[in-house]
Structure 1
Amino acid sequence: MENFPNKELTRVVQTGLNGSPSAFALSVGRLVAKLKHVDLALAQEISALLPSSSALRSGDSFAPAPVDNDSRMQLVEVLYPVILDKAPVLAPKVKQMLDECLTEWASMDILLKAGLAPARMLLFCGLPGTGKTMAAHWLAQELKLPLLTLNLATVMSSYLGKTGNNLKAVFDHANTRPCVLLLDEFDAIAKRRDDGSDIGELKRLVNVLLQALDDWPANSMLVAATNHGELLDPAVWRRFDSVINFEKPGAELIAEYLQEASLNDTARLAMAKMLVGESFSAIGALVMSARKRALLEQSKFSQQFIKLVVRSVLDRGQMEKPLDAEMLLMRLNGASMREIAGHFGKTHPTISSVVKRYLGE
């Protein structure tokens, strides 16, 4: 122990006094990792005293959520337990990265004893409606932790220094027990500090954020989501364990997303190809509209959904063969093959081929 760095022992004492069990366990783990080279028996003895991951992830319920002093509105929304109707449809690379994070959390005991921590800060980048928020909910569900979502409209204040105080209150609250903290529209609080229009408030806010990220405990997960990664301060990027990019889904993912819809395989694959370029949220809105129309008009969901998709693509001028769309709409509105053929001056086999290709009839 004569040559053992005093700063390691000092760090253990400091984190122990901070009151964060996970930070203390992580600090002790780092001490043990270095102590093994000096005194293996003592290292093993200390390692055996470390709490298990289940102990670190348990805790009492949260205290009441912090509020803005002026509006008296809550700064965070708390959801627990988080239960999704179905798992989100994710691109293979995104799913792999999230699964790797969950694997690390399942092995928290092993990591802490080696002075390591599971991935605890993730940055989700991508266009709106691509599944970033849903993925955060899924992580909270899988980790069986409460989901805290920053109420950005309440946190942001026009009063000098008030936004920074509100943000600090949110992090102090989240640190009271294990959770998943979602910071949506992250660029609003982590914007580059070289913005020429800034009068100093932005720099103070980002500095508060950076300090909070540095102090984030090992037994909670922080998920920041942004549609504008290019606006983030460079110092913010370095704080995250993983940066995960969410892109608009291709035909294969859309077809998977529509798997539970009442569509035959031919129609589902055809609609998936037509919907390429749309976000999951836009597709979900079409599904919901079709369900409501089917209910109110006492018709089939598939009929209403295909009509909405075809009209949407046709209105945007993105239908490769607009005439096909017109034929499909007539068919969905109850016209016979013969009537459609006569209307467009086409043969019956031609109409039959179009209908079969899109509707599977």
Structure 2
Amino acid sequence: MKKQNVLNLIKYHVERNESAFRNESINIARHFDSIGDYQLAEYIMSLISESNLYTPQSSDFESKFLKQLDTRGMEPLNLPVEISDDIKGIINAVNHNIGINKFLFEGLPGSGKTEAAKHVARLLDRTLFYVDFDNLIDSKLGQTNKNITSVFNEINTIPHSNKVVILFDEIDVIALDRINSNDVREMGRVTSTILRELDRLTDLNKEIVIIATTNLYSSFDKALTRRFDAVINFNRYSKEDLIEVAEHYFSSFIKNFKGISKDSRLFKKILKATENLPYPGELKNIIKTSLAFSDVNFEHDYLRRLYNNLIGNLEQTDITQLYVQGFTVREIEKLKGESKSAVSRKLNKEEDQDE
């Protein structure tokens, strides 16, 4: 600590500038933490907390690496029961306050990992900060490693830690398996730093919650995996789960479109006829664009687009194939844009040819 720090504290106190006073106090605590005087650093942070100089929700909180995510007004999560139970388990574990506070969400893109992290913060009534990897990762050799140390210093000195969740979204960008990395030496240094910082994370902030997500769990460093108290697998959607999610999105979106006829039954039939339904993130976009791009002069055009996106080219699919897929004459009429009599004639003609 320098003389200037003391002068700044006096100046900010006289000016009644609580924000600047708080930031200066945090910088002083970080200094003591960096030289190994963890007890004094923790004492300074506790004084700041008790004096209400810091609230995580305040808009004047500034950090180079931590950015706040808004969790207000979120839509309900549509997760399979098994995953929902695990999310409830996380809430219970944190509320037990026994130091189980680091969680890894793994799964395919669009499986709901990031949204689930937001809901965990909301259900715990905590402010959610995410690590900004754009600022964290540096092209200069060794700078990324230093930045990782800096971001953990920021995390370790956040007051009111029982009111904060830190999200490392897609942490695999800095934590892939050291053996499989193209730059083994540099990646090894980065991963080793993360391991060390996670090990000492609870020294100053025993109540802070860390959530990391990864799309590449098979390539994830196994030593890092062991640093997390629990790994939640988001690849547990059955086809029925995905259909339920799709129906929720469909009902939410279609009410905003005028002149479009809602046909929930045909919508669901298309989903059932799809061999491999995509995960919620992609499914949501497909449903939204099918509705948004539809022709206002063709009330069922969104269903045709949905079929094209999920199953195949409807123009190249003959009526008999659609019938075999389980669509009725009336439903084929909607998809093909042909009259019922025309559809029936084509079906009868195909039957006569088979005989």
TM-score, L = length of structure 1:
0.67
Amino acid at match of 1:315: G
Amino acid at match of 1:238: R
Q: Could you tell me which of 91, 108, 125 is aligned with 1:144?
A: 125
Give yes or no for the alignment of 1:89 onto 2:78: yes
Query: What residue ranges of structure 1 are gaps of 5+ in the alignment?
Result: 1-13, 25-50, 68-74, 109-115, 349-361
Give yes or no for the alignment of 1:331 onto 2:334: yes
Amino acid at match of 1:162: Q
Counterpart residue number, 1:267: 266
Q: 1:200 aligns to what SS in structure 2?
A: helix
- Written as runs of structure 1 = structure 2, the 5 A alignment for 1:158-173 is 158-173=139-154
- Written as runs of structure 1 = structure 2, the 5 A alignment for 1:161-200 is 161-175=142-156, 176-177=158-159, 178=161, 179-195=164-180, 197-198=182-183, 200=185
Q: Write the distance in 1 (CA, Å) between the matches of 2:343 and 2:44.
A: 72
Q: For residues 93 and 15 of structure 1, do their structure 2 counterparts lie closer, same or farther at Cα, with a shift above 3 Å needed?
A: farther
Question: How far has the Cα of 1:238 moved from its partner?
Answer: 1.1
Question: How far has the Cα of 1:258 moved from its partner?
Answer: 3.0
Counterpart residue number, 2:68: 78
Q: Could you tell me which of 194, 201, 211 is aligned with 2:196?
A: 211
Give yes or no for the alignment of 1:66 onto 2:63: yes
Q: Write the distance in 2 (CA, Å) between the matches of 1:242 and 1:152.
A: 23
- Written as runs of structure 1 = structure 2, the 5 A alignment for 1:1-361 is 16-19=39-42, 61=58, 64-67=61-64, 75-80=65-70, 82-108=71-97, 116-117=98-99, 119-175=100-156, 176-177=158-159, 178=161, 179-195=164-180, 197-198=182-183, 200-216=185-201, 217-247=205-235, 249-260=237-248, 261-262=250-251, 266-275=265-274, 276-293=276-293, 297=296, 300=299, 303-315=300-312, 322-324=321-323, 328=331, 330-332=333-335, 334-345=337-348
Question: How far has the Cα of 1:58 moved from its partner?
Answer: 6.3
Q: Write the distance in 1 (CA, Å) between the matches of 2:349 and 2:123.
A: 55
Contact 2:242 2:277 in 1 (8 A): no
Amino acid at match of 1:288: K
Q: Write the distance in 1 (CA, Å) between the matches of 2:313 and 2:41.
A: 57
Question: How far has the Cα of 1:333 moved from its partner?
Answer: 5.2
Q: Write the distance in 2 (CA, Å) between the matches of 1:90 and 1:20.
A: 42
Amino acid at match of 2:239: A
Counterpart residue number, 1:113: none
Q: 2:231 aligns to what SS in structure 1?
A: strand
Contact 1:331 1:337 in 2 (8 A): no
Q: Write the distance in 2 (CA, Å) between the matches of 1:268 and 1:144.
A: 37
Q: Write the distance in 2 (CA, Å) between the matches of 1:255 and 1:230.
A: 27
Question: How far has the Cα of 1:220 moved from its partner?
Answer: 2.1
Contact 1:148 1:182 in 2 (8 A): yes
Tell me the alpha carbon deviations over residues 288-333 of structure 1, each in whole angstroms, 9 at most, x when there is no partner.
1133235x72665xx344222211233289x9x7334797464245
Q: 1:297 aligns to what SS in structure 2?
A: coil
Question: How far has the Cα of 1:127 moved from its partner?
Answer: 1.1
Contact 2:56 2:127 in 1 (8 A): no
Q: 2:130 aligns to what SS in structure 1?
A: strand
Contact 2:103 2:232 in 1 (8 A): yes
Contact 1:250 1:277 in 2 (8 A): no
Question: How far has the Cα of 1:123 moved from its partner?
Answer: 0.8
Q: Write the distance in 2 (CA, Å) between the matches of 1:143 and 1:212.
A: 24
Q: Write the distance in 2 (CA, Å) between the matches of 1:94 and 1:238.
A: 20
Q: Over aligned residue pairs, what C-alpha RMSD do you find?
A: 3.6
Contact 1:193 1:233 in 2 (8 A): yes
Q: Write the distance in 1 (CA, Å) between the matches of 2:192 and 2:272.
A: 46
Aligned residues: 285
Amino acid at match of 2:271: A
Contact 2:136 2:144 in 1 (8 A): yes
Query: Identity of paired residues, percent?
Result: 22
Question: How far has the Cα of 1:125 moved from its partner?
Answer: 1.1
Question: How far has the Cα of 1:267 moved from its partner?
Answer: 3.3
Amino acid at match of 2:67: E
Q: 1:168 aligns to what SS in structure 2?
A: helix
Contact 1:130 1:281 in 2 (8 A): yes
Q: For residues 83 and 340 of structure 1, do their structure 2 counterparts lie closer, same or farther at Cα, with a shift above 3 Å needed?
A: same
Question: How far has the Cα of 1:255 moved from its partner?
Answer: 2.6
Question: How far has the Cα of 1:18 moved from its partner?
Answer: 4.2
Tell me the alpha carbon deviations over residues 119-168 of structure 1, each in whole angstroms, 9 at most, x when there is no partner.
31111111111111111111122122222222223321110111112222
Q: 1:170 aligns to what SS in structure 2?
A: helix
Q: 1:189 aligns to what SS in structure 2?
A: helix
- Please identify, of 238-247 and 269-278, the stretch whose mean Cα deviation from structure 2 is larger: 269-278
Q: For residues 171 and 198 of structure 1, do their structure 2 counterparts lie closer, same or farther at Cα, with a shift above 3 Å needed?
A: same
Q: Write the distance in 1 (CA, Å) between the matches of 2:341 and 2:146.
A: 71
Q: Write the distance in 1 (CA, Å) between the matches of 2:60 and 2:177.
A: 33
TM-score, L = length of structure 2:
0.68
Q: For residues 340 and 199 of structure 1, do their structure 2 counterparts lie closer, same or farther at Cα, with a shift above 3 Å needed?
A: closer
Tell me the alpha carbon deviations over residues 242-298 of structure 1, each in whole angstroms, 9 at most, x when there is no partner.
11111163222123213432455533542332344311111101221133235x726
Query: What residue ranges of structure 2 are gaps of 5+ in the alignment?
Result: 1-36, 252-261
Counterpart residue number, 1:37: none
Q: Write the distance in 1 (CA, Å) between the matches of 2:146 and 2:181.
A: 23
